[in-house]
């Protein structure tokens, strides 16, 4: 990909199977996180758990998990420490994850008196499909078929988690332009309620030549324009005039740039 907004991040596909669809009453019976860590090592953590309530027959017909499959297993809280290690500061990818999987996880944490983990970002492939106006239907199975992603064991948490992650990569490959932006701006785009298409976003910044290694600063004639964060769209000179403290942070070792980029920027604006 020309630009990977998730570079340097832990990225995990995430999916759940549950006793039902009510996040307040139903419980998790299977979870899966599949992806790669910051050092590119493989992540594959999945488990069945004892939901402590009966699994309805109609739910078993969907995912195939029965009461006898989970009755002697650990409950969800047994896995919380390991899940915290994977969720916190990660990019979590899933299909309908914001309305289904993440609320279920959050409620399970609260039931056991634990703090809800804090990912760096939650990327929902269902929301992406809608934002890009992809042809309906937008079910995971139909989207995977459209993009050539194998999903032979649908409604297994591990299979669905892996498929969601692969689907995201396929969508980015086919339509890279809206993803050529920093992660925080990508999240803003995905959470906006309006229906503006991505060609109108960012004031054409994606078409400008990147100045730094990650494309957070773009070249417009003789100006360097910041294309992320609260001063998105301003030149470095404008930021220096309006908020010198912020500029000092940008160019510090605690800021968002690599050391070689900091030196390059300082040389340009000196």
* Domain ranges for the chain: 10-175, 204-269
- pLDDT surpassing 90 at residue 103: yes
**Number of other residues whose CB lies within 10 A of the CB of residue 251:** 16
Q: Sheet harboring 209-210: ordered strands across?
A: 209-210, 217-220, 223-226
Rounded to two decimals, the pTM is 0.71
Query: Do strands 209-210 and 42-48 pair parallel, antiparallel, or not at all (unpaired)?
Result: unpaired
CB atoms closer than 10 angstroms to residue 77: 15
CATH number of 10-175: 3.30.420.10
pLDDT digits over 224-259, tens only? Answer: 888 887 777 788 888 888 888 888 888 998 888 888
Q: What are phi and psi of 55, to 5 degrees?
A: -95, 115
Percentage helix, strand, coil for the chain under 3-state DSSP, each rounded to 5: 45, 15, 40
What is the model's pLDDT at position 210?
A: 85
pLDDT in tens, 57-80: 989 998 999 999 999 999 999 999
**What is the pLDDT at residue 205?**
61
Question: Could you tell me the pLDDT band of residue 201, with boundaries at 50, 70 and 90?
Answer: very low
Mean pLDDT computed over every residue of the chain: 88
């Amino acid at each position: 990909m020309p630009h990977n907004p998730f570079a340097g991040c832990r990225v995990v596909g995430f999916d759940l199977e549950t006793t039902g669809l009510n996040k307040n009453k139903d419980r998790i019976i299977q979870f899966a996180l599949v992806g790669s860590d910051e050092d590119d090592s493989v992540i594959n953590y999945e488990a069945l758990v004892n939901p402590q309530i009966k699994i309805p027959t109609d739910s078993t017909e969907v995912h195939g998990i029965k009461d006898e499959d989970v009755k002697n297993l650990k409950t969800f809280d047994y896995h919380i420490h390991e899940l915290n290690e994977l969720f916190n500061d990660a990019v979590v990818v899933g299909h309908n994850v914001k309305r289904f999987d993440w609320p279920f996880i959050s409620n399970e944490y609260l039931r056991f008196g634990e703090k809800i983990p804090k990912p760096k970002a939650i990327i929902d492939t269902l929301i992406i499909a809608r934002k890009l106006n992809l042809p309906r239907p937008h079910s995971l199975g139909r989207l995977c078929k459209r993009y050539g992603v194998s999903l032979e064991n649908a409604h297994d948490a591990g299979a669905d988690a892996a498929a969601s992650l692969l689907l995201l990569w396929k969508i980015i490959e086919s339509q890279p332009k809206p993803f050529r932006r920093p992660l925080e701006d990508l999240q803003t785009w995905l959470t906006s309620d309006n229906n503006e298409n991505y060609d109108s976003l960012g004031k054409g910044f994606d078409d400008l030549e990147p100045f730094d290694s990650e494309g957070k600063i773009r070249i417009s004639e003789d100006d360097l324009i910041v294309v992320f964060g609260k001063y998105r769209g301003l030149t470095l000179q404008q930021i220096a005039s309006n908020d010198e403290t912020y500029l000092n942070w940008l160019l510090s070792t605690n800021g968002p740039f690599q050391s070689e980029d900091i030196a390059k920027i300082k040389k340009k604006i000196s």
